[in-house]
Amino acid sequence: MSEKHRFASRMIGNPVTRRTLYAFLFFFAGSCVGVAQSQAQYVAPVERSGFQRVTSYDTLQVFLKEIGSTAIVHVETLAKSKSGRTLVVAKVSSSKFGEDPRKLRVLLFGQQHGDEHTGKEALTMLLARFASGDLNSLLEKIDLLIVPQMNPDGSELYQRRTSDSVDLNRNHVLLTSPEPRALHDLFYQWLPQVTLDVHEYGTLSRSWSDSGFVRIADTQLGMLTNANTSHEVYSLQHDEIFPYVAGYMHGQGYYFQEYIVGSPSDRVRHSTTEINDGRQSFGILGTVSFIQEGIKWRTREDRLERRVKSQFASIRALLEFCSTHADKIINIVSQERARLLTLSGKPIAMKMDHFAGMRDLRIPVRMVATQRDTTWRVKPYHGEVRMQKSISLPDQYIIERKDSAIVQLLRRHHIIVQEVKQEAQVKVTAYTIDSTFHAEVEEDVQPFVSVSSRSIAKTLKPGDFIVSTKHLQSILIACILEPESMWGLTKYEQFGYLLKEKQYPVFRIQ
């Protein structure tokens, strides 16, 4: 027997050394497993296809189940669609999600419109990177909520709307569909300070090509436009976050611009001030909220790789800024949400419009005749939103028992509504509807009312409801309930009866 073999025999035969050897082997094997686990790489389905096809619902579910077993990503069911398909949320954290109050919470969601796929694909790429450990440095300061697919039914049907023909991005006030309702429940559970709603925009419209060029920005980033947005949040978005993302995108070789709608033959403006979409509905709650629009070409797969990667790059840049400036964002949002509790007696914008301001905007375009890429100075550029009518926020609103549909809507928004238990006399301001008319708002016609007001004594009866405005949803409450609000209940068919009553059935207590 060789000296080496005799030494090994002595080691194995000796009880003490045998235990030492086994411990070493166990540690070594465990280390190897740990290394193997830490090096596990996950690839998004769109990458596996070589960017040749968009990801189906079934393939997405398999991928989410796969990454949901990792230490960084935890996947939970969020809701079921009308057709029974599952919406999931991926909680991404280097610790236990939501446990560390010093971490900034960010909510990302995509594919509200079923025919807009690249947001979903970019978010699955992002999840694959986190599950693989490639972006762990971002998680030192942020926790992420990611809903990659809001509209699985529309996605499978290759259509914009849901299977029951609802535009989810216009269902954030009524919340009658399970998908946006679940998203808002998720928001109120965790109160993220930053949100991003990921979409696509069409670039091949006649209104642009007839002017001699088409838009070619790989991505557009839209910020809050509602006139009730605070100066602090506005400045953070415009002066710090947008320039950072723009610099990153240009450095990566992508075309990038601020999100605009309209056409050269009409007015060009930033997108809606409407509180009924996935950006403003959260922004009205003191959130640093964005919409991102990636470019859409002729087909789902046309130039898919560049489209997905540009969406991914812009999202990554936003997260990098958020991670680097997490403390500042948390502080700004905390102050803004505290302010929302103290607005009683202060003016709230009810009507607003887009006007030509002092800002200049140049965007990347492609000339139709020469196919040459250049920039166009936007004219006319209506880049400024101004308030046209405001109201003083009351302390409370009174809703009569017969209008329980309004109460149900408010409760879907997690607004506290108290039911009157015993009869009482109160002094209120009552609205009288003087006339109804139709007017154009953001290139669309909708109903409006003209009202007068007077102070009356009102008897509150058991079953009536009281809504305090000393809540996070203070501006939202006023925007929904005030009869002259351009984004209020009177614009919705379900509440058309409000226009037919001489006395508006919502009362104010100052």
Q: Would residue 143 be called left, alpha or beta, if left means φ above 0 and alpha means ψ between -120 and 50 degrees? A: beta
Of 53, 43, 42, 41, nearest in space to 305 by CA: 53
Give strand ranges (E) for 417-464. Answer: 417-419, 424-441, 444-460
pLDDT attached to residue 11: 39
Tell me which fold the domain 45-338 belongs to.
Aminopeptidase (3.40.630)
Which of 384, 443, 30 lies closest to 229, judged by CA?
384
Please tell me the pTM assigned to this model.
Answer: 0.91
**Helix residue ranges, H only, 340-462:** 404-412
Coil, strand or helix at 53: coil
Q: Per the structure block, which two tokens stand in for 85?
A: 């398909």
Q: Angle at CA 96, nearest 5°, toward 289 and 107?
A: 15
Q: How far is CA 281 from each of CA 82, 87, 308, 374, rounded to the nearest angstrom? A: 22, 20, 26, 35
Distance separating alpha carbons of residues 296 and 302, to the nearest angstrom: 8
* pLDDT tens-place values along the chain, 510 residues long: 444 444 344 433 444 444 444 444 444 444 444 434 445 899 999 999 999 999 999 999 999 999 998 999 999 999 999 999 999 999 999 999 999 999 999 999 999 999 999 999 999 999 999 999 999 999 999 999 999 999 999 999 999 999 999 999 999 999 999 999 999 999 999 999 999 999 999 988 888 999 999 999 999 999 999 999 999 999 999 999 999 999 999 999 999 999 999 999 889 999 999 999 999 999 999 999 999 999 999 899 999 999 999 999 999 999 999 999 999 999 999 999 999 999 999 999 999 999 998 889 999 999 999 999 999 999 889 999 999 999 999 999 999 999 999 999 999 999 999 999 999 999 999 999 999 999 999 999 999 999 999 999 999 999 999 999 999 999 999 999 999 999 999 999 999 899 888 899 999 998
**Residue of 104, 94, 40, 99 whose CA lies nearest to 71:** 94
Task: For 183-195, write each residue's pLDDT tens digit.
Answer: 999 999 999 999 9
Residues 19, 120: Cα–Cα separation, whole Å: 52
The candidate with the shortest Cα–Cα distance to 180, out of 81, 66, 321, 288, is 81
d(CA 312, CA 334): 28
Is residue 91 a contact partner of residue 103, using CB atoms and an 8 Å limit? no
Distance CA 155, CA 281 (A): 23
- Measured CA angle at 445 (ends 442, 451), to 5 deg: 100
pLDDT digits (tens, 9 = 90+) for 494-505: 998 998 888 999
Q: How many residues does the chain have?
A: 510
3-state class (DSSP) for residue 266: coil
> CA gyration radius for the chain?
27
Q: H or E element: which one contains 128?
A: helix 118-131
Strands 417-419 and 465-468: antiparallel
Burial (CB count within 10 angstroms: exposed 0-12, middle 13-18, buried 19+), residue 246:
middle
Burial environment of residue 457 by CB neighbours within 10 A (0 to 12, 13 to 18, 19 or more)? exposed
Buried b (16+ CB within 10 A) or exposed e, 47-79: beeebeebbeeebbbebbebbbebebbbbeebb
Q: Is 390 left (phi over 0), alpha (psi -120 to 50) or beta?
A: beta
Q: What is the pLDDT of residues 126-173, one digit of tens each?
A: 999 999 999 999 999 999 999 999 999 999 999 999 999 999 999 999
The amino acid that residue 320 corresponds to is E
